[in-house]
Amino acid sequence: MIRTALLVLLILSACTEGKNALVDPALIQGDSLPTPLTEAVGDPERGQLVFSDRDTGHCVLCHVIDGLDVSFQGGVGPDLTYVADRLSPGQLRLRIVDYQLVRPGTLMPSYYRNHDLYQVAETFTGDPILTAEQVEDLVAYLSVLDSHEDE
C-alpha cells in the first residue's frame, strides 16, 4: 500500500512538476535518496546548528535528541537520539528533502522542495527552506547519532 502510494506520488510529481523539481525522482530508491545533493561532504557540526537554529531548520521544534544542549526540544516528531541506528544517510536525506514522498500527509515540512507548497510568503515562493549544503550538513549530523557514539 505504501509503495503504491509512493509510486503514485512520484508519477504525479513527474507529470506536473518534474521539470522544476530540485531532486530528480529517478534518484529515489524506495524510501531513500542515496545520492548526495552536493559534491561536498556534509559537516556534522554545521548540521547540528541547522538542527537547533530557529532561523534555519529548527528541527528541535518537533524532535528531541538526548544530550543536545538546546532548551525546549519538541515531542511531536520521533526522538532522534539514535536515529542512525534506524535510518541510513539516504533515508535521512529523503525524509529531510520531502518526507511527503515517504509518508503522505505528514506534518513534517519538505525542506528541499520548491513546488506544490502552500501558505508561502511571496518573497520565498520557489525557494526551498534549506539549501542543498544545509541538507547534507544535517544528514551528516544525524548520521553520527547512533548508540555507539559514546564508546
- Residue tagged 530508491 (cell numbers): 29
- Looking at every residue in the chain, the average pLDDT score rounds to 83
Structural domain includes residue 150? no
Q: Encode pLDDT of 92-137 as tens digits.
A: 999 999 998 999 988 888 888 876 655 655 666 667 889 999 999 9
What would the 3-class secondary structure string for 35-54 be?
A: CCCCCCCCCHHHHHHHHHCC
Tell whether 148 is covered by a domain: no
Q: How many domains does the chain have?
A: 1
CA distance readout (Å), 110 to 106, 118, 144, 149, 150: 10, 11, 22, 28, 31
Q: C-alpha cell of 130?
A: 534549506
**For the domain that residue 115 is a member of, what is the CATH number?**
1.10.760.10
In a domain, 24, yes or no: yes
Residue 151 within any structural domain of the chain: no
Q: Is the pTM of this model over 0.85?
A: no
Residues 74-100: pLDDT tens digits? 989 999 999 999 999 999 999 999 998
Q: Which domain holds residue 16?
A: 2-143
CA atoms of 62 and 98, how far apart (whole Å): 16
Residue 1 to residue 27: CA distance in whole angstroms: 21
